[in-house]
């Protein structure tokens, strides 16, 4: 019985072709035990995340940027709640990218993203991101093709610079199908505690499903790199979505080889009970 997802199946290899129709959004990577087994594995993985995040913060050397993208109702908020429920909020921050403000529109499209990137010791989660500029702006023709078509290169250059400056970048496309989205929208209407989540704008965006699919396929193909890889996360099952995202994050943090800082000479003297000289 599987105990962890087969990550390579969902990694978008640089230069590879992406066809989302060939990726099953209901896939669970061999977890025969389903949600019950998966939730136990998630709890185990998340138990590892808390001390790793504390170590990241204490060492104050590395930075981690997590990008969450997906169709409306794909589970970006839910992923953040579940995966990071046990971490110390100090050193973890969520940046949400909605409609650009007047100030943001007065700058280049990457300006608002660059302002939110992590500092040393910090994990920052982008709930939507700079990729909206090759998604929404493309689909709704807010900018001409000659403008958005250049942005794939600009985005990869931007992410390369962040990585070379010490930022680990992990990007997740939360993949659901149109039927599952409809079910989730209906759930928001049926449950009074979820009415606040329902948006007629989100519902109207369903008419652009094929256009968004093509835009996402291009973005995944053209911007998955060695320094900032994309993972296509089957997300019809929320528990598998959370399991896969948390697993990638923990594996990436473990690979950093982090160590707690040692005491400097002055602090070591105090720890030994000696007065400063």
Give tens-digit pLDDT for 240-249: 999 999 999 9
Q: Which CATH superfamily is domain 7-258 in?
A: P-loop containing nucleotide triphosphate hydrolases (3.40.50.300)
Rounded Cα gap, residues 116 and 113, in angstroms: 5
pLDDT (mean) for 57-77 = 96
pLDDT computed for residue 276 by the predictor: 59
Give tens-digit pLDDT for 101-111: 999 999 999 99
Say yes or no to pLDDT of 202 above 50. yes
Please name which of 253, 251, 233, 245 lies closest in space to residue 42, comparing C-alpha atoms.
245
Pairing mode, strands 123-127 and 167-175: unpaired
Percent of the chain with pLDDT over 70: 92
Instruction: Please report, in angstroms and rounded to a whole number, the separation of the first and last CA atoms in the chain.
Output: 61
Q: What does 186-203 look like in DSSP terms, one character per residue?
A: HHHHH-GGGGGG--HHHH
As beta bridge partners, residue 230 has 171
What's the predicted TM-score (pTM) here?
0.92
């Amino acid at each position: 019985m599987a105990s962890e997802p087969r990550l390579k199946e969902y990694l978008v290899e640089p230069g590879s072709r992406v066809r989302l129709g060939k990726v099953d959004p209901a896939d669970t990577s061999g977890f025969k035990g389903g949600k019950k087994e998966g939730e136990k594995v998630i709890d185990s993985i998340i138990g590892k995340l808390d001390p790793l995040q504390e170590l990241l913060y204490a060492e104050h050397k590395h930075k981690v940027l997590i990008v969450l993208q997906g169709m409306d109702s794909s589970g970006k908020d839910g992923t953040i709640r579940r995966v990071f429920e046990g971490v110390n909020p100090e050193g973890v921050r969520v940046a949400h990218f909605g409609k650009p403000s007047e100030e943001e529109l007065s700058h280049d499209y990457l300006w608002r993203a660059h302002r939110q990137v992590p500092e040393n010791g910090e994990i920052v989660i982008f709930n939507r991101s700079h990729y909206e500029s090759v998604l929404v702006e493309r689909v709704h023709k807010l900018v001409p093709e000659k403008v958005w078509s250049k942005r794939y290169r600009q985005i990869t250059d931007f992410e390369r610079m962040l990585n070379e400056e010490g930022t680990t970048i992990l990007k997740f496309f939360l993949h659901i199908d149109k039927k599952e989205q409809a079910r989730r929208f209906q759930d928001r209407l049926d449950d009074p505690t979820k009415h606040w989540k329902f948006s007629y704008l989100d519902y109207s965006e369903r008419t652009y499903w094929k256009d968004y699919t093509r835009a996402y396929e291009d973005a995944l193909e053209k911007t998955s790199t060695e320094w900032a890889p994309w993972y296509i996360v089957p997300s019809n099952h929320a528990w598998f979505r959370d399991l896969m995202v948390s697993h990638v994050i923990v594996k990436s943090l473990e690979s950093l080889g982090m160590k707690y800082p040692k005491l400097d000479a002055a602090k070591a003297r105090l720890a030994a009970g000696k007065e400063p000289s």
